[in-house]
Structure 1
Amino acid sequence: MFFQKEIRRQPEFWEGVRDQSNVSMGIAAWGLMTGVAMVTSGLSVLEAVLMTLIVFAGSAQLAAVPMLIGGAPVWVIVAAAFCVNLRFVVFSAHLRPYMMHLPLWQRLVSGYVMVDLTYVFFTRRFPVPGVTDQERLSQQAYMMGNCAINYVAWMGASLLGIALSNAIPPAWGLGFAGILALVGVLASMATSGLRVVSVGVAGTAAVAAWALPLKLNIVVAIASAVAVCLVIESVRAPRGPSGAHRV
């Protein structure tokens, strides 16, 4: 998909490349420390490389590695990774109208390369799904340009971290740079009262539920923010003359 000429000819493809390039250093720093952490935690170089190429999810990798080393049951590892990445269920539900015109294999590839920052950039750039073929092509091009830079930054840095795992001390804490990049983009999207409320509720819930096992505080944060925003939306929805909500 990244290399289709029709996609690369679209100006939105290069727009997506530029947007993701602005935060690629933070993503690379996070990927570098993930690669280091996998090897220093006890995985072999081959195992770390395969996990990087197959899983492609830093939070799930960092959650699963200690369990793998500790000999946890497979179902526990899978459940932990599922909970950590449960936010992508929300992403998928939101992006469904944007994607359903694509063949199944393209939807699968898009789902594999879609990450948090790509979702944030994409939904900010395209708040509503395209209607015409050209609009849909432009949206697909932007997403693929954005994903391409993120994929290269993450994979390259993660593999470099694996190769240099004995030379880069985990105490550097470079992974925090990826979090800062995400926070910066998130702050730039807080352009309405409802978005500010959702961020505040999610952050508060995540901290309050920090002690939950298997990173379930993330699930609590997402559920709390969605529930509160739905309630606010239903309360302030405009009403017609009869008092019924307008659709």
Structure 2
Amino acid sequence: MSRWAAKREQLRSLMDDPFFRLGAQDMVGTGLGIAAWGLVTGVAMVKIGLSAPLAIVMSLLVYAGSAQLSVLPLMAVGAPLWVVWLTASCVNLRFVIFSSMWRSYFAHLPRRQRIVLGYFSGDVIFVGFMQRFPEPQPAPGQLAYFWGAASLNWLAWQIPSIFGIVLAEAIPLSWGLGFAGVLALLGVLLSMLNDRASWLATVVACSAAIAAYALPLKLNILVAIAAAVTAGLAAEAAERALRRAQLRQQPEETP
């Protein structure tokens, strides 16, 4: 069997895996929000002055909706490159946390494969994966589930994004796509608020963004991100300390 035939057979076997289908099914609910978000981002990239080929390259290579939407206003106003890079880096800091947690599941895989997994990872994929596999250890079906979720999520983003890029000139701003994008983001965000630390970080981010709105170059975004990360980490640390204290008290309370 040739190398390409073996690859096709491996791909066919992966797609036939029930965990692959389960991962794709879990992403259907958020897929519509992701698609609307991608469409808005595609249109926005062209509206600020990027050429269609460059916008398509950015969509395929960057593949980070929140980072793209965060830096587009900065690019539109001619912000310094360091502000653009810093904003994108701050927005994507959460993936450092995601990667550290996914390490418990995928550390045994080859480095090249883990790099590919990192490219296809996403917020909603992380949430769905952790709900299906709460135990931080390798188990059958995890890789297939990830690829099922990642495949649908990637297609739900890229197809509408490229569609918006190609047809940006034919889509007027009067359609209110910006507001539709905000609604899509809210839908994705609300699906991820499943603990007190997440809610606290969200409230702090909103408050900080409003309080620092007068800062130039959209720097209120950076302020909001820094405040949210600090609040979220502090809340998680407090919860861990409380759980440790409760565990220490349990033996003393046992008769």
TM over 0.5: yes
Q: Which has the larger radius of gyration?
A: 2
The one-character-per-residue Cα deviations of 1:21-49 (angstroms, maximum 9, x if unpaired) are 22211110110000000101111111111
Distance 1:225 1:90 in 2: 12
Distance 1:123 1:63 in 2: 27
For the pair 1:239 / 2:248, whether they are aligned, the reply is yes
TM-score, normalised on structure 2? 0.82
- Return 172-181 or 26-35, whichever deviates more: 172-181
Distance 2:122 2:250 in 1: 44
Compared CA separation, residues 69 and 47, structure 1 to 2 (3 A): farther
Name which of 147, 152, 157 aligns with 1:144: 147
The one-character-per-residue Cα deviations of 1:155-212 (angstroms, maximum 9, x if unpaired) are 000000011112223423221242233134225xx3xxxx2x2133112211222127
Distance 1:236 1:87 in 2: 23
1:139 alignment partner AA = Q
Name which of 9, 13, 17 aligns with 2:16: 9
- Extract unaligned runs of 5+ from structure 1: none
Compared CA separation, residues 68 and 179, structure 1 to 2 (3 A): closer
Distance 2:60 2:160 in 1: 12
- Matched position secondary structure for 2:168: coil
Percent identity, please: 39
How many residue pairs are counted as aligned between the two chains?
232
- Matched position secondary structure for 1:42: coil
Task: Report the alpha carbon displacement of residue 4 of structure 1 after superposing the two structures with TM.
Answer: 2.5
Map residues 89-238 of structure 1 onto 2, 5 A cutoff. 89-131=96-138, 135=139, 137-170=140-173, 171-172=176-177, 173-187=179-193, 190=194, 195=195, 197-210=196-209, 211=212, 213=219, 215-216=221-222, 217-237=224-244, 238=247
Compared CA separation, residues 175 and 241, structure 1 to 2 (3 A): closer
Distance 2:226 2:97 in 1: 11
Distance 1:185 1:242 in 2: 37
- Extract unaligned runs of 5+ from structure 2: 1-6
Map residues 79-94 of structure 1 onto 2, 5 A cutoff. 79-94=86-101
1:200 alignment partner AA = W
1:201 alignment partner AA = L
Q: Is the 8 A contact 1:40 1:165 kept in 2?
A: yes
Measured on the aligned residues, the alpha-carbon RMSD in Å equals 2.3
Counterpart of 1:31? 38
